[in-house]
Amino acid sequence: MPGFVAELKDAVSGRAALLVFATLLLQLGFVLSYVGALHHPAPHRLSIGVAAPAQVQPKLLGALAQVPNEAVKPVAVASAADAESRIKDQKIYAALVFDPSSSQDVLLVANARGPAAAVAAESIVTSLEQTQSRTVQVRDVVPLATGDAKGLSSFYLVIGWCVGGYLVASILGISAGSRPANLNRAVIRTGVLALYSIGAGLGGALIVGPILGALPGSIAGLWWVGSLVVFAVGTVTMAMECLFDVVGIGLAVLVFVVLGNPSAGGVYPTPLMPPFWRAFGAWLPNGAGTDATRSIAYFGAGNLLQPLLVLSAWTAVGLAVTMAAVILRPRGGRPMAATPPSVAA
């Protein structure tokens, strides 16, 4: 037994024990984040427009504003056409169009922006209409594609891109040193990551487009966004490895998997998520990528500026940190193999 104890102490170093404990925390964080974000969706300031005559509109806006827990953000719109335009521009999630000539009104929704948001808007408006002894008919102005029945294709596409980004950066770090040996090696590694990102972006766009028919929209646009998502995640993972060695891989998983996936707005749009995840989801590559992909697929590539700026900012930070780490602390990676002296003929 003493021999076994000595062997155990020699086999399990303090560093290994800390890494195992950190992995346990990461695993529990995964469970906490996913269940916490998705177990109890409830609308918060869900934007619903109201198109109605001047004498009716204030009353409907006031009734929506009084829905408990700030569930609704009521917005006055000029007409049914204005309401539909705002939905397609992603300014509001739904709109109630009052019909003064009938007891039945129309609720405009966009399932392409998230079926859960459309269901929440229908539930809220139906309850409101019942108190007014009126009924409501739902009309989907931006329906989902036939191959995207649950509206999750954009989300899972971006998850795949993110996974590729941090995996390839991790593999490059494990195979050639967490931090490139010098600036030239850092540039080479970045170039490899860029080429991989281009291929991954194109592959994902082709799979969800012509191969599976899951998403409509521009293949070139999806390719561009996908390449940027992969490159952003990859460069940040590379930067984390430069700063924290192998622990950086765990930090990348924390950011992009534990926090990024459940907050991305894939399963439930942002207004249906709890405050913690709602606060930062759109500012991570997962959320920005999902927003951009949906916009290209369903909304004519509108409102792309914010998600593209978010992805570009992550990329810039990742590259800057990597290059700074290599310049300030060179020769941190695997050294170049010595060239054997030439043999005279």
pLDDT band at 179 (very low <50, low <70, confident <90, very high): confident
Of all residues in the chain, the percent with pLDDT exceeding 70 is 92
Average pLDDT, the chain: 92
Which residues does 51 contact at the CB level (< 8 Å), separation at least 6?
57, 77, 78, 79, 80, 82, 83, 95, 96, 97, 98
pLDDT of residue 339: 43
pLDDT of residue 229: 98
pLDDT of residue 10: 65
**pLDDT over 60 (residue 53):** yes
Residue 337 or 2, more confident: 2
**pLDDT over 80 (residue 174):** yes
pLDDT of residue 64: 97
- Domain spans in the chain, listed from the N-terminal domain onward: 46-140, 153-328
Closest by Cα among 156, 159, 158, 239 to 193: 239
pLDDT of residue 8: 60
Distances (CA, A) of 53 to 99, 101, 103: 9, 11, 14
Tell me the per-residue pLDDT of 216-248, one tens digit each, with 9 for 90 and over: 999 999 999 999 999 999 999 999 999 999 899
**pLDDT over 70 (residue 265):** yes
* Whether the predicted model's global pTM rises above the 0.85 cut: yes
pLDDT of residue 130: 95
**pLDDT over 60 (residue 148):** yes
**pLDDT over 70 (residue 79):** yes
